[in-house]
């Protein structure tokens, strides 16, 4: 997922910057809507609400997670192989060039409360 200046609403990242979901509870360096969660840019570590799916060289979750952790940015320090596999699997199902957003969903069950990351398509109205 990459940043695009075409969708500039609450987008503080550079055009073409690789985006990763910001961890749950992470405080952005710039203002974003409270109702939306956001992606963080891997170069600037600034937030954006919308990312664009683009093609990249094939990579597995382990290598992708290591690549992100090697950036030494605070918001990605705990980016795990499991996180990377989930993220890549969700994006893989979406057409190239489609805008995407994300949110965290709280599920309460017998075992307690569980917080789940949801990555979804974004549809714009004209």
* Each residue's pLDDT tens digit, 58-67: 899 999 999 9
pLDDT digits over 52-98, tens only?
898 888 899 999 999 999 998 888 888 899 989 988 888 888 888 88
The two three-digit tokens of residue 4, written as one number: 């695009």
Average pLDDT of the segment spanning 35-47 = 86
Alpha helices in the chain (DSSP H): 61-69, 81-92
The whole-angstrom separation of Cα 87 and Cα 81 is: 10
97: nearest Cα among 40, 53, 45, 32: 53
């Amino acid at each position: 997922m990459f940043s695009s200046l075409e969708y500039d609403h609450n987008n503080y990242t550079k055009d073409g910057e690789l985006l990763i979901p910001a961890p749950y509870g992470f405080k952005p360096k710039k203002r974003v809507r409270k109702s939306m969660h956001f992606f963080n840019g891997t170069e600037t570590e600034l937030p954006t609400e919308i990312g664009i799916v683009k093609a990249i060289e094939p990579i597995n979750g382990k290598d992708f997670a290591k690549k992100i952790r090697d950036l030494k940015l605070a918001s990605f320090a705990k980016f795990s192989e499991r996180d990377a596999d989930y993220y890549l699997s969700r994006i893989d199902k979406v057409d190239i060039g489609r805008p995407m957003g994300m949110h965290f969903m709280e599920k309460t069950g017998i075992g307690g409360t569980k917080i789940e990351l949801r990555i979804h398509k974004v549809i714009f109205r004209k």
